[in-house]
Amino acid sequence: MTSKFQRYADDEISDPSIQMPHQFLATSTQQYPIDILVSRLEKHLADPSSAHEKYPWAAGFVMGIPVPSWQRQVVWNVGQKTRFIVAVWSGADLGSYLTNAWCDSGVGRALAENSDILIDGQQRLHSFEEYFLDRLAVPDVQGQPRVWSEVGNGERKRFLSTVFTHAHVSSDDELLLRKTYDLCAMGVAPRTNDQRAAR
C-alpha cells in the first residue's frame, strides 16, 4: 500500500475485477421546510383512523408517516431529543429523513405494505412530534425550558421555515428497503444486531 495519494490509479496497476459497494436504491432529495411535516402531523391528528385504514400494516406513525414493523423503537432519551430541537432553533444542518415513495392503490383504500414508510429519521421526527405536542421542553435564550405552545408566532414561523431535506426511494422490494434502513446508520450510530432489519 502506498502513502502517496493518486486520484486515479495508473492503468497498468489497476485491477478491474475489484468492485466496491453500490447503492441499493436510487435516492432523490427535495428541500422542504419543517412546515410540510407539520401539515402531515396535523392531518394525522385530525383523523388517525383514516391513517390506520390506509396503512393497516404500519407498526405506528411518527409525524403522520407510517413506520414499518422492522424499524427499531424510539431510543433517543430526553437529552438527545432536546439537543436536536435546540440544533433546529440554532440553524444547524439537520441532515435528512428518508421515506419510500412507492405505493400501490390497487386494493381499496389500503396501500400496499411498505408504501410511504419512514426508512430513516425516526428519532428526529419523533423529537419534532414530542415538541409540537408539548411533551418536550427546550431551553430558550435565557435557559428557561419552553414547550411549543409557549412560543410566539414569529418564532414559530422561524422554526417551521427551517429546511429539513426529504430524501426518498421508490421500491416494493422489502429486502432492499430493509438493507437501506440498516445502511443508514452505519458508521454514525450503528444499530445493534437486534435492531437490524435485514438479518
57-86 average pLDDT score: 95
pLDDT in the model for residue 60: 96
Residue 198 lies in a domain: no
Q: Kindly indicate the confidence band of residue 2, based on its pLDDT and cuts at 50, 70 and 90.
A: low
In a domain, 194, yes or no: no
pLDDT of 103 reads 64
Q: β-strand 60-62 against 65-67: which pairing, if any?
A: antiparallel
* 93 burial via Cβ count (<10 Å: 0-12, 13-18, 19+): exposed
Q: Phi and psi dihedrals of 55, rounded to 5? A: -125, 65
- Does a structural domain hold residue 44? yes
Q: Flag the least confident range among 75-89, 95-109, 151-165.
A: 95-109
- Which has the minimum average pLDDT: 2-6, 57-61, 172-176? 2-6
> Quick check: is 12 in a domain?
no
Average of pLDDT values for 3-7?
78
| pLDDT at residue 12, rounded to an integer | 63
Q: Which residue has the higher pLDDT, 197 or 106?
A: 197
Each residue of 143-193: pLDDT tens digit? Answer: 999 999 999 999 999 999 999 999 999 988 889 999 988 888 654 455 566
- Of 78 and 182, the structure prediction assigns the larger pLDDT to 78
- Is residue 20 assigned to a domain? no
* Residue 17 falls inside a structural domain: no
Q: How far apart are CA 78 and CA 84, in angstroms?
A: 10
Q: Please, which residues bridge with residue 29 across strands?
A: 167
Q: Which domain holds residue 129?
A: 28-183
Q: How many domains does the chain have?
A: 1
- Across the range 78-92, mean pLDDT stands at 96
Q: 173 in a domain, yes or no?
A: yes
> Average pLDDT for residues 62-89, to the nearest whole number?
95
Pairing of strands 96-100, 163-169: parallel
Q: Is residue 87 part of a domain?
A: yes
